[in-house]
Each structure stands twice: as structure tokens, then as C-alpha cells.
Chains A and B, each alone.
Chain A
Amino acid sequence: DIQMTQSPSSLSASLGDRVTITCRASQAIRNDLNWFQQRPGKAPKRLIYDATTLQSGVPSRFSGSGSGTEFTLTISSLQPEDFATYYCLQHNTYPRTFGQGTKLEIK
């Protein structure tokens, strides 16, 4: 199985900050990686697919980069609604595997 190592597990930041979350795959997965945002009590929402493509309707302050084994999600200027938990998911191979999650909190 492919292991997805996501870091950090939690992050405190202020409004307007630029933040970066990283996912590392235990083996190369091309660009077969998605990023999700989950607010408490809600279903996950896809932000980025295929590592770099912004989901329709998602603000442009979100961006994704990477391929192979290392991937990043960047939020360029934090807004109040961005404080949530973020997950990466590899969709290269079954079983699909998620990162452990990054909880983004207000400093």
C-alpha cells in the first residue's frame, strides 16, 4: 500500500498569512493526488485534483504543486473560512490512501 505522510499535523496561523501543507508518498504516484478541505461536522470538499488543478468554484488563493512523491497545498492569504482540516489523497493505486490530516487553526 502507498503511505501518505502529511505535515504538519496542526498549524496555527493568522488572517492574511501564507501557509503550506506537504504530502509525501511512499512511492511515486505521478500527479495522482487530490486535496480536500473539511470543516467540522461537514463532508470533505475537493479543492485541488491531479495535484495542480483548481476545482471549479474554489478561490484562487488555493494552489497545488508537485509530482512523483512530494506535493504541496498553498493558501496564499488566509481567510476566516479557511480554518479547517485539510487532507491529501492518492488516487494512483488501490487501496486509496489519505494523509493523516492538517488542522489549521487561528493564531
Chain B
Amino acid sequence: EMQLVESGGGLVQPGGSLRLSCAASGFTFSSWSMSWVRQAPGKGLEWVSYLSSTGTIYYADSVKGRFTISRDNAKNSLYLQMNSLRVDDTATYFCATGGGYGSWGPGTLVTVSS
């Protein structure tokens, strides 16, 4: 069974940085593309970033130039480096598998506030 678990969320001041991790198990992580999706409190889902198994990367315009997606296949892990954080980046961040989002982690909450 595919399992994903996010970590690294927390409270950070505007302008600060945070690195999220997503630990994967139960499948051949290196063969799968992965994505980050976020959800602001009480709001809908927003796609954030995508990283294919071969290194193709896409970002939402709202995070381009500030966020960096990466992966370590040896550690079965996906990452999201978030810099220059803004109040409107406050959200629960989910990692999900593939381009079709078949499996999701439970999410990790990022709060950007002074």
C-alpha cells in the first residue's frame, strides 16, 4: 500500500524559510512523479508543484521563484524548500503521487505569521 507522510511544517515569520519533507513507502518511489498541493484554512485545494521521475518540474505562478521542489530517491523522499514566505502561503501542504494524485499524505500545516 502506498503511504506518504509529510513533515516540517510549523510557524514561521513573513520572509522566512521552511523545508517540507514527504516520506514515501510501499511503492517504487523513484519511478513515480510527485506533487505538492496546498489548502489554506477553510479554502479549496491549490496545486503547487510537480516533479517527474526524470526531473521535469512545474510550479504554480504563486510560488515560482520562491519554492523549490526536489527529491532524494535513495531516501524515498520528496521535498519542498519554501523561501520568502508570505502570509498567504499559510496552508496545509499535501504531497501526492503521480500526475493523477491517486495517493495523498495527511498533510503538514505551515503558518506564516508575525
Residues of A within 8 A of B (CB): 34, 36, 38, 42-46, 49-50, 55, 87, 89, 91, 94-101
B44 touching A101 by the CB < 8 A rule?
Answer: yes
Query: Which residue, B35, B104, B105, B106, has most C-beta atoms of chain A within 10 A?
Result: B104
B107 touching A43 by the CB < 8 A rule?
Answer: yes
Instruction: Please classify the interface of chain A as helix (H, G, I), strand (E, B), loop, or mixed, using the class held by over half of its residues.
Output: loop
| Tally of contact residues, B, Cβ under 8 A | 19
B61 touching A42 by the CB < 8 A rule?
Answer: no
Which chain A residues border B94 with CB–CB below 8 Å? Answer: 43-44
Q: Which 3 A-B pairs rank lowest in CB-CB distance, beginning with the nearest?
A: A96-B47, A43-B104, A94-B58
Which chain A residues border B37 with CB–CB below 8 Å? Answer: 44
B102 touching A55 by the CB < 8 A rule?
Answer: yes
Report the separation of the CA atoms of residues A46 and B103 in the bound assembly, to the nearest whole angstrom.
8
Which chain A residues border B105 with CB–CB below 8 Å? Answer: 43
B104 touching A98 by the CB < 8 A rule?
Answer: no
Residues of B within 8 A of A (CB): 35, 37, 44-47, 50, 58, 60-61, 94, 99-102, 104-107
Report the separation of the CA atoms of residues A34 and B4 in the bound assembly, to the nearest whole angstrom.
20
Which chain A residues border B35 with CB–CB below 8 Å? Answer: 96
Report the separation of the CA atoms of residues A87 and B101 in the bound assembly, to the nearest whole angstrom.
12
Nearest CB in chain B to that of A42: its residue = B106
B50 touching A44 by the CB < 8 A rule?
Answer: no
Q: Given A34-B100, A36-B101, A45-B104, are A98 and B58 also a contact pair (CB < 8 Å)?
A: no
Which chain A residues border B60 with CB–CB below 8 Å? Answer: 95
Which chain B residues border A89 with CB–CB below 8 Å? Answer: 45, 47, 101
Query: With A43-B107, A95-B61, A101-B44 given, can you name 7 additional A-B contacts, CB distance below 8 Å?
Result: A36-B101, A43-B104, A44-B101, A49-B102, A94-B58, A98-B44, A99-B44
